[in-house]
Structure 1
Amino acid sequence: MIPLWSAGALTVLWLCLLLKVSRNKVAAKGYKGFWLAILSWPLLLSSELWQLVGGASPWLAAAAVAAMPVLLAGIYRNLLAMLWRKPKRIMWPFYTIGPGMLVLVVIQGWLHGSDWQQWPGFAPLGEPLSYWAVYLTCLIAAFLFLYISIVLIEQLQQYHHELPLQVVDTEMYHIKGLSGASGFAVGMAFCLAIIVAAVAFGFLPLTFWLTWFHLGLALTTLVLLAQLSRAHRPSPSPFDHDAMSAAPKMSQSTAQAVLKRAEAAVISQKAYKEIGLTLAMFAERAGMSASDICLALLAGKKTHFRGFIYQYRMKYAKQVLMGSDTKLGSVTKRLKLGANGTASRSFLKYLESRR
């Protein structure tokens, strides 16, 4: 009964999360895929919830894992929409694996329909050659989960690595918690795959292992959904990465022309005063291409957008300090030239070098 009550407890947590998302202004629910993911989650525990109210269906037990491609597709689309303005989605694993898992469920019913009711928890123990369809379905779900979790980590790492290219105050646009949740998902998916293999080959005679498998998937994906539902403030990358990688290296003359326009726009907009400024906002106001500005900064100044604006911001901060009685901590905090009112090392170095 412990696994069944655990399924009930997880469902209560899911309902609380759903209520929170529905009633509050959560950033993630505005992105594609979020509702697909959160509404398909209960399918993972459909068998356990049905047993909890007195029912029993081996078909539900076998088919529950087939919800994983749908759920993971929603999470994947949601995250990519948060990170990139023009996401390059790879959807073929979901389109191929989802129907394939349903076919395996039908094969299970055809081969083992008479044995289902006799299995504890509607799952066999050992005999991998006889019950290959059961084990293969679970292994596919586990490895798909492992693959997508690794992809999520890679996407988040790329986003944070490129953040200085497109925002000034990077700490405002960090996505917290999702990398840790994705790492947890990698570990859980790997452990679940090991458990299925151990049960199949008789090394782990775990009764009701399929129920625990469902619970492991449900718990981990619920953690991911909880992290997605936090009020993040992402800055979707404005770059067309394919076009940038295919474009020839920008010449110095072109870079200098672009930089001249960008520098004029910084001064006219007083962009160095704006906290939370992004390259997309700046480029739109200046009537320029964000990709062109990025390439020009890399080619002409060997710096990124954050470093470019920071030079103007530090120059302005120095003028404020020299022209008034304003304290260093106050200017540092207002212009975010440090942390917790403490001036950054680069700002102090800038002040010393220009005395």
Structure 2
Amino acid sequence: MDAAPRIAIDAMGGDSGPAAMIAGIARALRRDSALRFLVFGDERVIAPELSKHSAIGDAVEIHHTPEAIAATEKPSQAIRRARTTSMGMAIAAVKDGLADAAVSGGNTGALMAMSKLALRTMPGIDRPALAALLPTMGDTDVVMLDLGANTECDAQNLVQFAVMGAAYARCGLKIDKPRVRLLNIGTEELKGTDELKEAAALLREADYLPLSFDGFTEGDQLSRGNIDVVVTDGFSGNIALKTAEGTARFVTDLLRRAFKSSLRSKAGFALSRPALNLLKVHLDPNNHNGAVFLGLNGLVVKSHGGASPKGVANAIRVADRMVRNDITRKIGEDLDDFRAHAFNHEAAE
């Protein structure tokens, strides 16, 4: 894609609402002034925020609606209000071809339900998955999915997630043949559920796909940098993600407490500040903000509800990158190859 993407923004989603979303747009435009935005929400609160960022200029087009999806609203309730809420209208803009992607920091369950209903799943995909980049000790991040969209998955779902995750790694990390592993309770072939074993068998046979299946991995290896894509069901994935986030906060809080414990510790903090700043940047969730719903006929990016303007800008960057690399087409082509080989294998048998 040569032209800069048009991105639909749910301005009312997230903890800070339009303030963070508009400031995030301003940061994104400083990185790429060619981007264009359709902003959905209450114009009475959006316009004052826009006036704070003169650099935005005519890059933003406001679509007024006073209705928004609450953080506590059930997906079944949200769906009934999809046509009149900022979240639903942003997704509809993607469906109608007015925008190339949508970004929202609102209710995850509602966003998933409305996105799936409006955009539908791609041919060959049973369930969409939520994928995000996580920091590692290596030179690149790791793609992990599913992070909460599907609590239970069969072997076919996991294989589809592997195909989608590998496409994400090719688009987002520029890795030609990503290393893919299934999250398990051990690396031995005999360990794990029947669904994991079956998925592993299918992926071992799919050597024609643009991915390298490396078997199983355990949770303590996620950040080592020797994996490009980690595949699991949404239940385990969400627990792993929240555990990793909690551990990062635990470590930073311990360091903060330790450096305040004595005068000698405070002096040590002054000497080690450059290294600690690097650690802070590496662990800052805003630097990895932006999870993508993969497997839909359109792109939707979930920004963390508490994301700062920097985090929102990063979510916009993820959307921009996925659109420019045409990830939906790449997933479709890989799935076509997988289904064709599976059909030929069944016919031969």
TM-score w.r.t. structure 2 length?
0.24
Which structure's relative contact order is higher, taking Cα pairs within 8 Å and 6+ residues apart?
2
Larger Rg: 1
More strand by share: 2
Q: Name the one with the larger helix percent.
A: 1
| TM norm structure 1 | 0.24
